[in-house]
Structure 1
């Protein structure tokens, strides 16, 4: 019996994955479904599953944060992702398998066969995954504006934000550009040492922060440059701790 867990923040996706696993391989037993980094870290400090099906973007953070908190993970891991163009390259370099959402049964079957070929000695070093991934972060964006194409370096970007269900880039020169990517997708391709999603609306470059202060015991206010219409933005309460850690990386 292969004791396994699923780490996935979308309930429907987790249940569907569990059902497909049970249909394809009766030796794989799902002992737990977890939905956040915090929950997963607490579980993995006490349990050592043989196999983990790991979503990349979770409800409270990027799942790579799990490896920063639990350093002795020996489980075999099948990554799952909806946005694969950068993550997959990093995983392939380390012989990690992945499933691209929406997950097809034939792809899951391939992964299950591949993961059984690993023995304990061949479990990849997940710290190496983090190191290799740093080289694959997005460096430029190609923006279509009317009939024009504009190439923008990430070094020119102050922050990303959503407005009326659309995503925009605010450049350091105060220019605003539309972007056909969601903030959720951007979280996967931006260097987390430089960019951080402070709330549902903003992903900011650390260099864009002009001023920050507590407005209450648990609320941090930021002033950004270029300024935003509301003049200040608030770090989501559930992100305050990780935001402060990010500032001193």
Structure 2
């Protein structure tokens, strides 16, 4: 697929370098425009509805995070390009698909583009359609340790699990159960069933997902109407359930 992209970078020399790299090594990227400021960048985003934005962190009159905060319902992926590596955590919190440091490594640039291309291809295939597989024939039970013994659940009855420090909340259709086990414990226990770790806080029953929404990292809606965030780092793995 062809990725529609824009480049937001205040340094003309840096724009030229990245533009040339994309032209030479990333033929699947169509560069629609360039901007040298947050204001110009926002205008380009609104006008072009890109799939991908290459974004420098530090710019005059603000930074990349100021720009992203003004696009709360964005559907594009973001690749940060910066000379500083201490913004990596903020980039992750703003659901960046990739983080490149200057001088740009060509192999890393190619990997970033391929990663975004794969995500966008999967999203385009889904296109907001209902994701419920209507497959309710999961065989299996899960034993939950409790103070006075244990409880047995049918795996298919679990909608999703939510982390609560060293505890996990298990959500069923009409109730939730608090268990003194970590979310990682249930991720391992349910590895043979269609459960996806979509976020550091959520493990979701894929058969209960009824809708996928594009966004910063994306989100899913499960059968009880609850909307759960999908982190950027987990998006690819989650979408692979629907190949």
TM-score between both structures, scaled by the size of structure 2:
0.47
Higher relative contact order (CA 8 A, sep 6+): 2
TM-score between both structures, scaled by the size of structure 1:
0.46
